[in-house]
Structure 1
Amino acid sequence: MRDFATLFATLDQTTKTTLKTKALAEYFTRAADEDKLWTIALFSGRRPKRAVTTTQLREWAAESAGVPLWLLEESYPIVGDLAETIALILPPAETCSDLSLSYWINWLRSLSNVSPEDRKMLILTAWNQLETTERFLFNKLITGGFRIGISQKLMTRALAQATGQDEASLAHRLMGGWTPESTSYHALIEAEDKAADLSRPYPFYLAHQLDDLPENLGNPVDWQAEWKWDGIRGQLILRGGGHHVWSRGEELITDRFPELARARDFLPDGTVLDGEIVTWDGTQPMSFNTLQKRIGRKTVPKKLLKDAPVILLAYDLLEDNGHDLRDTPLAQRRARLDALLQDLPSEAPVRPSQIIPFDSWQGLTQVRTRSRDMRSEGLMLKRRDSPYLVGRKKGDWWKWKLDPLTIDAVMIYAQQGHGRRATLFTDFTFAVWQGNELVPFTKAYSGLTDAEFNKITAWVRKNTLQRFGPVRQVRPEHVFEIAFEGIFESPRHKSGVALRFPRMSRWRQDKPVQEANTLEDLRAILAAHG
């Protein structure tokens, strides 16, 4: 654990990618294989199953520190992280140990077979032999993931340096449904990858937002334009007689979209499609809200399958007859995709995503204005000779999204942030007018500058009306412009509406509260764009 704690401290104390990569590469060079495997797992979102509740940890830590539970609870919002709060509040360790990261993880996994009373004693014993940073990491293993600015791409680059392997090949190895319980470091990283997991997707190629004029991209003949669909990015994999569906976040979502199983009836084995999973009304995508109802479900009831059927709008062919096509230029991949899908019957759960013909940037700009009518967020622009790369690369793929919808709203509640923002009020609830009443309709926590967050924090502390735990009701005196990507009906909210990706785009210090928008204005936006 000591080596892992040293690595963590190094990574946490720098923002320089080169230094983080070097520290990780050195760790992967010298650490034990089991520790390396668990480090890869932890930094890619795979952690051991929780054996102790956070409520129990709070109570045991307060008791061990000899402080009332309320003091720990008051400290938590200030520190911004429960694992760190517990590590700091505990008394100094009486002993020390040099046990490995993998030892402690296996030790935590064994707690599921221990009685609650014995778990408490074991946790207290562990705390008493770990120094503060080690305790923090130990607590993290129980309470949550490691958010320390380590991307999968950075970790893959460090592994490539440590092992001498190709970075793209390693990125592919790290995809899929593996866990440290189901593989070894040798099998995952070092062994010949002939049979590779048949379910394994390819690393996704991601686009940058286009903020400049499209004319700056050069000759339009070199570019392909498509609608940017508002769904779930996914890969549909047909291999070994089975099918698998992966989200961009490397989550296996096969069971959530059983309609896609029928793709095996229409497409050959050895096919991998990249596209957008959308709900489909027979002619065009339905609103994202209909898809949202299915996202969190492991099983889908018959009524929902009928009311919100899904298809894959495919826009890229990554594997054809078992051959990896990612190095093939986009124009050729797209031609093979169209040939593969052109004769599919209407009952097939796959459609080719429409390519938009255009001969000038001005003409395409006009087409873009129709995006919301198409249930689209805007356009995708892809260079026709581009290969399918790994991660977010600037130059060949761009997303040209519509300007967001906006509404002016009044801040009525505030809450402190977490982590580095723990001392600032950054999470706000906003309301619009309904007659003389302010009706809450959304929350937002991003969009302001550091200076603005500091200013509004000072104001909140002086203008709190009531406290509800960590939430403060404040005087309704400030108007903010709220930007959002979509709006839909929501019976769970008092306002009857919910927003997609709300954020603060401007602090309207020039606007009096009485001139904020109304619930009627929100409903008008819903009628036009919902």
Structure 2
Amino acid sequence: MKQFAELLDKLYFTYSLLDKVALLEDFFRQTSDPERGYALAVLANTLSFPTFKRPMIKELMQEQVPAYLFELSYDYVGDLSDTVALLWPDGALEEPLPGLVEIIDQFNTIPDTQYKDYLRELLNKASRNERWALLKLGTGNLRIGVSARFIKRALASYGQQPLQEIEKIWHATEPPYEELFAWLEGRGLAPDITSKLFFHPVMLSHPLNDDDLTKLDPSEFAVEKKFDGIRIQAICTKDKKGLFTRTGEDISHAFPDLLTTFTGNVVLDGELVIQNAEGLCSFNELQQRLNRKKISAKLMEQYPAAMILYDILSWNGEDLRHLPFYERRKKLEDWFAVNPAANLLISPLITLKPGQSLTTLKEKVLAEQHPAVEGLMLKHHQSPYLAGRPRGHWFKWKRDPKLVDAILMYAQRGHGKRSSYYSDYTFGLWQDGALLPIGKAYSGFTDEELYRLDQWIRQHTIQRFGPVREVEKALIFEVAFDAVNYSTRHKSGVALRFPRINRIRWDKPITEADSLQNLVDMIQHN
């Protein structure tokens, strides 16, 4: 555990990506199996411990110090793991921590009733660095500047293998990755993935800007509608089938009505949507099916799942990703011709009429105000299917965001590098002379604006609730968002999709902020 804690600490304080890769390579080289494999799993966030919850950590901390001292410290530090690591008394038990492998094994196997006692024992044995690493391990909230994709790049560098090969086999391997390391070190063959259900890393698009629009030749691109659902991948083999999100999360259990549709040996890329008797529905209907532990027959009947097919990545064991888009599209149509289903649709291609510009086409598509469409997709005819977000191949051209002038109500400290600043904001709108919160945002501003906002919040605080400050109602944010829908989960009765700060209106009096009725009107005019 000591070596793993030292690795996390070094990664946190190292800013150069090349230096981070070097740190990881040294760790992989100097650490034996299975410890390095479990460390890799933690870094790549492929482990989870459902019983390891933040309230339990707070309860343990408040056994050690008065609640008010913990709250003040948490407010000042802004990160729970940092706060506990600093505040927990040193030297309660002069015994070394167990190794990383043993700790992970215990986290996975001990009864829930013993979890709290075991964590207390570990914290009592740990040094400050080890406490921090232990809590990061348990919560899965590392925030050390290392993404899952970066980890794969480090593995590719370590084993002198193409990144695409790592991407290809990653989701068919599992902790502690001993077979993977054997291959990377030349001691064994690449992991056999032929019989496994594995996720193919998705290809993503770039937002289309004015410069791109000026330079591209529309005749070189296929044009589709951009549907407003959730990007998914359907994988079907002789023995297994599954549905995965764009990040590789298995959501098969949540959509059994869609999963049963697929047969044969195929990997399909597309959009998860809701389709009823009237056609495709808005994202709001899809939300009724998300994040549910149990899916009832009634729910599936009310919100039947469907998939809009974009691409075919593999068919009958043949990897098609190297083919240009126009060839994959033809194969997708061939597959669909022999595998039709009521809850599968091929994304239709849109043909530009003579003299019609892309701008005119976009305006026409958006003027239809279809609840499931949010813009256009442009895909180069010659584009292979490449993992990540390669430039120049695919573009997304979404409708302009909706805007509302809202009043800042609360601010909370951020995490990681933002833990010293108030960077998470709750804002509200007027209703009958009172302010109702309508959403939160923590993006859309520059570092310079963040520093200024942080100072303003500190100077205009009227009340504190742990790491949250209530501020004077004196500052307006112009908030951008993609959509607004009714919501029974929020006091305001509405929910914004992807809210972010568009502008900070230092100049605008709060009397000119919008009312909640403005959002209701937007919903009614959709």
CA distance in structure 2 between the aligned counterparts of 1:86 and 1:361, rounded to whole angstroms: 65
Residue 481 of structure 2 contacts residue 497 of structure 2 at CA under 8 Å; is this kept in 1? yes
CA 1:224–1:81 in structure 2 vs 1: closer, same or farther (change >3 Å)?
A: same
- Match of residue 84 from structure 2: 86
* TM-score in terms of structure 1 length: 0.90
CA distance in structure 2 between the aligned counterparts of 1:55 and 1:18, rounded to whole angstroms: 37
| Most deviating of 440-449 and 52-61 | 52-61
Alignment RMSD: 2.6
Residue 410 of structure 1 contacts residue 430 of structure 1 at CA under 8 Å; is this kept in 2? yes
Confirm or deny that 1:186 pairs with 2:179: yes
- Match of residue 503 from structure 2: 506
Unaligned ranges ≥5, structure 1 = none
CA 1:513–1:327 in structure 2 vs 1: closer, same or farther (change >3 Å)?
A: same
The aligned amino acid for 2:348 is: Q
Residue 71 of structure 2 contacts residue 467 of structure 2 at CA under 8 Å; is this kept in 1? no
**Cα deviations across residues 137-171 of structure 1 (Å, max 9, x unaligned)?**
11222233322121222211211222233321211
- Match of residue 439 from structure 1: 436
- Residue 236 of structure 1, CA deviation: 0.7
**Cα deviations across residues 1-20 of structure 1 (Å, max 9, x unaligned)?**
23222322222122222221
CA distance in structure 1 between the aligned counterparts of 2:182 and 2:201, rounded to whole angstroms: 16
Q: How does 1:41-80 map to 2 (within 5 A)?
A: 41-51=41-51, 53-64=53-64, 67-80=65-78
Any idea what SS the aligned residue of 2:331 has?
helix
CA 1:124–1:436 in structure 2 vs 1: closer, same or farther (change >3 Å)?
A: closer
- Match of residue 106 from structure 1: 105
Confirm or deny that 1:221 pairs with 2:219: yes
**Cα deviations across residues 235-270 of structure 1 (Å, max 9, x unaligned)?**
111101432111112111112112223423xx5x11
Residue 51 of structure 2 contacts residue 112 of structure 2 at CA under 8 Å; is this kept in 1? no
Confirm or deny that 1:325 pairs with 2:320: yes
CA distance in structure 2 between the aligned counterparts of 1:39 and 1:332, rounded to whole angstroms: 41
Confirm or deny that 1:300 pairs with 2:298: no
CA 1:217–1:145 in structure 2 vs 1: closer, same or farther (change >3 Å)?
A: same
Confirm or deny that 1:395 pairs with 2:389: no
Confirm or deny that 1:493 pairs with 2:490: yes
The aligned amino acid for 2:319 is: D
- Residue 216 of structure 1, CA deviation: 3.7
| Most deviating of 125-134 and 233-242 | 125-134
- Match of residue 458 from structure 1: 455
- Match of residue 151 from structure 1: 147
- Residue 495 of structure 1, CA deviation: 2.5
The aligned amino acid for 1:311 is: A
- Residue 276 of structure 1, CA deviation: 0.4
CA distance in structure 1 between the aligned counterparts of 2:302 and 2:112, rounded to whole angstroms: 43
* TM-score in terms of structure 2 length: 0.90
- Match of residue 522 from structure 1: 519
- Residue 106 of structure 1, CA deviation: 2.5
Residue 221 of structure 1 contacts residue 359 of structure 1 at CA under 8 Å; is this kept in 2? no
- Match of residue 445 from structure 2: 448
- Match of residue 186 from structure 2: none
**Cα deviations across residues 465-502 of structure 1 (Å, max 9, x unaligned)?**
33444433322211111100111111232332111011
- Match of residue 140 from structure 1: 136
The aligned amino acid for 1:287 is: S
Q: How does 1:302-451 map to 2 (within 5 A)?
A: 302-342=297-337, 345=340, 347-358=341-352, 363-369=357-363, 370-371=365-366, 373-374=369-370, 375-451=372-448
CA 1:492–1:126 in structure 2 vs 1: closer, same or farther (change >3 Å)?
A: closer
- Residue 509 of structure 1, CA deviation: 2.0
CA distance in structure 2 between the aligned counterparts of 1:189 and 1:506, rounded to whole angstroms: 52
**Cα deviations across residues 118-150 of structure 1 (Å, max 9, x unaligned)?**
x53x54543344332222111222233322121
CA distance in structure 2 between the aligned counterparts of 1:300 and 1:473, rounded to whole angstroms: 39
CA 1:324–1:449 in structure 2 vs 1: closer, same or farther (change >3 Å)?
A: same
Any idea what SS the aligned residue of 1:280 has?
strand
Any idea what SS the aligned residue of 2:288 has?
helix
CA distance in structure 1 between the aligned counterparts of 2:333 and 2:98, rounded to whole angstroms: 56
CA distance in structure 2 between the aligned counterparts of 1:133 and 1:493, rounded to whole angstroms: 40
- Residue 46 of structure 1, CA deviation: 2.2
CA distance in structure 1 between the aligned counterparts of 2:487 and 2:51, rounded to whole angstroms: 35
CA distance in structure 2 between the aligned counterparts of 1:184 and 1:424, rounded to whole angstroms: 38
CA distance in structure 2 between the aligned counterparts of 1:422 and 1:136, rounded to whole angstroms: 15
The aligned amino acid for 1:10 is: K
CA distance in structure 2 between the aligned counterparts of 1:373 and 1:494, rounded to whole angstroms: 28
The aligned amino acid for 1:244 is: G
Any idea what SS the aligned residue of 1:357 has?
coil
The count of residues paired between Structure 1 and Structure 2 equals 517
CA 1:298–1:99 in structure 2 vs 1: closer, same or farther (change >3 Å)?
A: closer
Residue 80 of structure 1 contacts residue 420 of structure 1 at CA under 8 Å; is this kept in 2? no
CA distance in structure 2 between the aligned counterparts of 1:504 and 1:433, rounded to whole angstroms: 18
- Residue 359 of structure 1, CA deviation: 6.2
Unaligned ranges ≥5, structure 2 = 184-188
Q: How does 1:21-36 map to 2 (within 5 A)?
A: 21-36=21-36
